[in-house]
Amino acid sequence: MTDRFETLTVHAGAEPDPQTGAVVPPIQMSTTFKQDGVGGLRSGYEYGRSGNPTREALEAAIASLENGTHGLAYASGLAATQNVFYLLEPGDRLLMSDDVYGGTWRLADKVWRRYGIQTDAIDLRDLDAVAAAFAAEHPPRMVWIETPSNPLLKIIDISAVARLAAVAGAITVVDNTFATPYLQRPLETGADLVLHSATKYLGGHSDVIGGLVVTRSEELAERLRFHQNAAGAVPSPFDCFLVMRGLRTLAVRMERACANALVLALWLADRPEVSAVNYPGLADGPTAELVERQMRLPGAMLSFEHAGGEEAARGFAGATRLFTLAESLGAVESLIELPAPMTHASVSDSPLAVTNSLVRLSVGIENVDDLRDDLEAAFGASGS
Ligand SMILES: Cc1ncc(COP(=O)(O)O)c(C=O)c1O
């Protein structure tokens, strides 16, 4: 019998401890494990970097929630990204969405380029451009999709891109940080790997940095597992425990945050201070159909262009009371930021640059009337 998603969030990876019956998997801090004679491992554990029961509980939980078979946990989302890049060889090309987290682009373009990996950014919504990239003489070995994307909330058709990639023998990776497996499960629509900054919705409380990767491929899992141990960017058992605790409430947090975001997106779209709202729930035409097909709900992230320009956007972002001016996203509390000078400062000189008047909101689970009042007061206070 297969449990439904909400049930899995509560129970996945959380078998009561066989020794004590503890219903919360214990945090196993030991870095090494006694051997009964050389190589005589009691339950497969040898050394904490190579394997740890608390980490394995988290890895089992995320594999189950993403409907994959292998989960891997890392010290951060970027450590997870780094491990995925280890699947590439010098001379390989990486095709990336032209709107991704700035740090992902920085890692590809500023670090991996030095080791012979060429990254090209295109708008992956343009399937003709994707097809052309894969038809090139030297096609990409990997395609990197972020959908909804950060910070413009573009929606990319995962199954269409994955089909084109598969024909060319390329690996499709989906950064599912913004959607979470509650809203979309990329492995079910053809992706080979799904990646998370667990720092965001999965942890959910702005108190842990972590990364996760899930796959159904034995071969990819084996290669990732090798580098997880060989390069060593593993999370602490305590961090794994915190992400596990966050996962338990993922479904209810997402429901509430998405409902709040829709209310605020509609309200912002009517404000004179706002010239454009980026929110998948406001899409129309083919994009609306894609959101409907690909996502359970349109998410809790949105961004908008402040009609007053950069100074007005800065004034507004500094004038909220409940929306905390801070980087990051996906927690119970609402956050506000300006991507250009903050999360996306590292892409200012790249094809991924965004305008200085773009404001990004991570909508939390507070009372939505309070959130709207806060935004309204900030428009008033910032004179915009
Ligand atoms: C979509 C996305 N992917 C990856 C990352 C990187 O994750 P971390 O900060 O946990 O390294 C972030 C961080 O903001 C992100 O927003």
Per-residue confidence band for 348, with pLDDT thresholds at 50, 70 and 90 = confident
Q: Which residues contact 270 (CB under 8 A, 6 or more apart)?
A: none
Distance (Å) from CA 263 to ligand 1 centroid = 26
Rounded alpha-carbon distances, angstroms, from residue 89 to 6, 93, 173, 185, 266: 39, 9, 16, 28, 46
Partners of 144 in beta bridges: 96, 173
Tens digits of residue pLDDT in 133-182? 999 999 999 999 999 999 999 999 999 999 999 999 999 999 999 999 99
Tens digits of residue pLDDT in 71-113? 999 999 999 999 999 999 999 999 999 999 999 999 999 999 9
Tens digits of residue pLDDT in 256-276? 999 999 999 999 999 999 999
Known active-site residue 200: yes
Q: Which atom of ligand 1 is nearest to the CA of 81?
A: 4
Distance (Å) from CA 151 to ligand 1 centroid = 12
- Is-cis flag, bond preceding 18, omega within 30? no
The Cα 368–Cα 259 span in angstroms is 9
Per-residue confidence band for 384, with pLDDT thresholds at 50, 70 and 90 = low
Per-residue confidence band for 2, with pLDDT thresholds at 50, 70 and 90 = confident
Pocket flag, ligand 1, residue 339 (CB < 6 Å): no
Choose which residue among 174, 200, 327, 347 to substitute to test ligand 1 binding: the one with the highest number of ligand atoms within 8 A of its C-beta.
200
